[in-house]
Chains A and B, each alone.
Chain A
Amino acid sequence: MKAPNTPPRIRIAAAGKRYQQHQIFENVDLTVGEREVVAIIGPSGCGKTTLLRCIDGLIPLTQGEILIEGSPMLAPRAGVAMVFQHFGLFPWKTVHDNVAYGLKLSGISKAEINERVPHFVKLVGLSGFEKYYPYQISGGMQQRCGLARALATEPRVLLMDEPFGAVDAQTREILQFELLRIWEDTPTTMVFVTHSIEEAVLMGDRIVVLKGRPSSVHEVVEVDLPRPRDRATLLLPHFAELREHVWGTLMADARQAEFDVIKNN
């Protein structure tokens, strides 16, 4: 799928992270191209969020390095935005002000912020809710708001940490297809962490399976499904094949991993 000489947006080399004596992941190698979506899947507690935090520059690696556009990621940087598993909306800011947060910090004038925010609010389907506070909108809408906040900074790298993990199944499906539509309009580099195998197959150009304790890249699955993807993609026989394949890889010793998590905690 990818031209081999494309300069990598993200290059992760021999990356590892340890907390005290606890090695979370190790030997992670991954290169992500300019318009590529890499889905990361793995059991709970395997270090997906930790890896994403490292890519965002929120926490340092303990081994290896992460380069974005060629320079090491030592602190959060413009052009890289993250959508959080916990949404991370400010309860005391309205939808408008939450979406405007990244823009405000980048020093853009108020007039320009007020011009740009409505576009992104509309993009995620929150028009009319600009003046609402997070507690007044549903979980799905809250994550739409978190997505708009990240998109508003027009990032070249979008990091998504189980963005739809905390919403119900129907909302999740709706949001998946909306995200696909948004991505088709402005394809960027995206690292998409998820628990859901279907979601990984639907979103990713490649699926990285993280597994083990400490975890490492167990397998990389190429997803050669055509884009643009939509609901019809779910019905393709090849979709089912890929899903079964990932399921097999992931579940082989998933039960054992779950027991390990409990024992180790």
Chain B
Amino acid sequence: MSGSAVLDADGPRGYALLNHPLFLKATAGLVLLCLWEGVVRWLAPPYVARPSGIAQVILGVLGNAEFLSAAGATLSAVALGLFISLITGTLIGFLMGRIMLLEQGLRYYVNSLFATPMVAIMPLLTLWFGYNTDARLAAVVFAGFFSVTVNACEGARSAPLECLEVAHSFRARPWSTLFDVIFPSSLPYLIAGVRLAAGRARVAAVVAEFFISIPGLGYYILYNSRTFHHNEAFVAVIVLVAAGVGFEAFTRWLTRRYFPWHRPR
């Protein structure tokens, strides 16, 4: 990804700008936006979302109290669900990873549930929790929990034997080994699990809102699409994407800042 390396490569000087990755990204983005604008203008009815239309409404939508409360509802449900998944998934994953009987007993069920599409069980969740925000939270937790559990289990199982041997030699108690060896060595796995969970959790929240019709970004998108406010709906999509990208950047920063030993250099 390093631009300077490309710039330093010898070659005709005129190509330097063209080879700059930022330049390429910006150009590609601009071309895609123009294509989108052109195709929609040429072929689609006027209410279909297009860049110029989105640009006109975006500030208004972002300042709209109703939209903000919808975004807050969805994103806070995702955050809470992720938090619950992280705590319970880590706990159960670690227990499975370190206790053979538990792992053998639960592995197939956890793996099966991990592979179960959340959308498929949405109707069941509404039966169990009702048509309310609890069902959305349950969907988010269902989507996130198993990703974290599977990864935490894998991480706990792959704690380096050398480190465990050292802990044994220094007469570490199981509790301190958990914090000195198993937890830190599983951190990369946990981070991977949470990143996976975060993506699945956003899908779950949006689908739950489609299904249950409770206020949130998903419902906002559904309502505005059906009332031919496609530009407004698209702003909600952009917010969902931004939340995902923001979370990715946050985990990367967290890793670099607090776990520099993980993937050094």
| A and B interact physically | yes
Chain A residues proximal to chain B, CB less than 8 Å: 56, 58, 75-78, 81-82, 84, 86-88, 90-93, 101-102, 105, 133-136, 153
On whether the beta carbons of A105 and B166 are closer than 8 Å, the reply is no
Is chain A's interface secondary structure helix, strand, loop, or mixed overall?
loop
On whether the beta carbons of A88 and B261 are closer than 8 Å, the reply is no
On whether the beta carbons of A77 and B171 are closer than 8 Å, the reply is yes
On whether the beta carbons of B180 and A56 are closer than 8 Å, the reply is no
Some 6 contacts from A to B, beta carbons below 8 A apart, are A58-B168, A81-B169, A81-B170, A84-B162, A90-B180, A93-B180
Known: A58-B165, A76-B169, A82-B169. A90 touches B260 (CB 8 A): no
Least CB distance, B56 to chain A, in whole angstroms: 51
Mask, B142-182, CB within 8 Å of A = 1, is 00000000000000000000110110111110001000110
Least CB distance, A16 to chain B, in whole angstroms: 21
Residue of A nearest to B187 (CB): A92
Chain B residues proximal to chain A, CB less than 8 Å: 162-163, 165-166, 168-172, 176, 180-181, 184-185, 187, 259-262, 264
Known: A92-B185, A105-B176, A135-B264. A56 touches B169 (CB 8 A): yes
Instruction: Identify 19 new A-B residue pairs, CB closer than 8 A, beyond the known A82-B169, A90-B163.
Output: A58-B168, A78-B171, A84-B165, A86-B162, A87-B162, A90-B180, A91-B185, A91-B261, A92-B185, A92-B187, A92-B262, A101-B166, A101-B180, A105-B170, A105-B171, A105-B172, A133-B260, A133-B261, A133-B264
Task: Point out the residues of chain A lying under 8 angstroms from B180, CB to CB.
Answer: 90, 93, 101
Known: A76-B170, A76-B171, A81-B169. A88 touches B162 (CB 8 A): yes
Is chain B's interface secondary structure helix, strand, loop, or mixed overall?
helix
Known: A58-B168, A92-B184, A105-B171. A135 touches B261 (CB 8 A): yes
On whether the beta carbons of A88 and B184 are closer than 8 Å, the reply is no
**In whole angstroms, what is the CA distance A78 to B184 when docked?**
25
**In whole angstroms, what is the CA distance A81 to B166 when docked?**
10
Least CB distance, A138 to chain B, in whole angstroms: 14
Task: Point out the residues of chain A lying under 8 angstroms from B165, CB to CB.
Answer: 58, 84, 88
**In whole angstroms, what is the CA distance A87 to B169 when docked?**
13
Least CB distance, A74 to chain B, in whole angstroms: 12
The CB with the most chain B CB atoms within 10 A, among A75, A78, A86, is that of: A86
Task: Point out the residues of chain A lying under 8 angstroms from B170, CB to CB.
Answer: 76, 81, 101-102, 105, 153
Task: Point out the residues of chain A lying under 8 angstroms from B162, CB to CB.
Answer: 84, 86-88
**In whole angstroms, what is the CA distance A105 to B259 when docked?**
23
**In whole angstroms, what is the CA distance A135 to B262 when docked?**
10
**In whole angstroms, what is the CA distance A44 to B262 when docked?**
32
Task: Point out the residues of chain A lying under 8 angstroms from B169, CB to CB.
Answer: 56, 58, 76, 81-82, 84
Least CB distance, B259 to chain A, in whole angstroms: 7
Task: Point out the residues of chain A lying under 8 angstroms from B166, CB to CB.
Answer: 84, 88, 90, 101
**In whole angstroms, what is the CA distance A82 to B162 when docked?**
12
On whether the beta carbons of B261 and A134 are closer than 8 Å, the reply is yes
Least CB distance, A10 to chain B, in whole angstroms: 16
**In whole angstroms, what is the CA distance A78 to B169 when docked?**
9
- Pick the residue among A75, A76, A88, A105 that contacts B163 (CB under 8 A): A88
Closest 3 CB pairs of A and B: A92-B184, A88-B166, A135-B264
Least CB distance, A163 to chain B, in whole angstroms: 14
Residue of B nearest to A77 (CB): B171
**In whole angstroms, what is the CA distance A92 to B184 when docked?**
7
**In whole angstroms, what is the CA distance A175 to B202 when docked?**
55
Least CB distance, B31 to chain A, in whole angstroms: 42
**In whole angstroms, what is the CA distance A56 to B165 when docked?**
11
Task: Point out the residues of chain B lying under 8 angstroms from A93, CB to CB.
Answer: 180
On whether the beta carbons of B259 and A92 are closer than 8 Å, the reply is yes
On whether the beta carbons of A90 and B168 are closer than 8 Å, the reply is no
**In whole angstroms, what is the CA distance A135 to B260 when docked?**
10
Task: Point out the residues of chain A lying under 8 angstroms from B171, CB to CB.
Answer: 75-78, 105
**In whole angstroms, what is the CA distance A96 to B194 when docked?**
30
Task: Point out the residues of chain B lying under 8 angstroms from A56, CB to CB.
Answer: 169
Least CB distance, A92 to chain B, in whole angstroms: 4
Residue of A nearest to B176 (CB): A105
**In whole angstroms, what is the CA distance A82 to B168 when docked?**
11
